[in-house]
Amino acid sequence: MPLITAKAPLPTTAVHGAVSLARYYVGGLTGASKGHIQAFVRRHGLRELAPQYPGPCPMDSPVTGRIAGQPWREVMDFNETLALMRHLGTACFIVIAYLTGMRPGEVLGLPPAAALIPNPASTARSDGT
């Protein structure tokens, strides 16, 4: 409510090219259900207000990565998470393929939790058992 009365930027996202309240972000931040958020949006006219006062959706996750000793960004934005996850997956694919010598089809055939599966050679005891 304070954001609305102060006409401060609201957490927004793009939905089919239109600016809208970032409902998943608000739900994750507040713990409110989808129904509660819908009712709040209707009650306070946020469908009309959100495009007028668009704002970011900063996440409360520390940014620890650095480039040349400097943080690579100040904060992570909720709206960027899907693209960043895609980039991370691509980077993992490249590293796995390069370090193991696997072909692309072999890397893509790995189960999602392949890193958690113990390697029998690394778990064998030195006494042969």
Tell me the C-alpha to C-alpha distance, in Å, between residue 104 and each of 46, 84, 85, 96, 111: 47, 21, 19, 10, 14
pLDDT tens for the chain, residues 1 to 129: 677 778 889 999 998 999 999 999 999 999 999 999 999 999 999 999 999 999 999 999 898 989 999 998 999 999 999 999 999 989 988 998 999 999 999 988 888 877 677 766 665 555 555
Q: Model-level pTM? A: 0.68
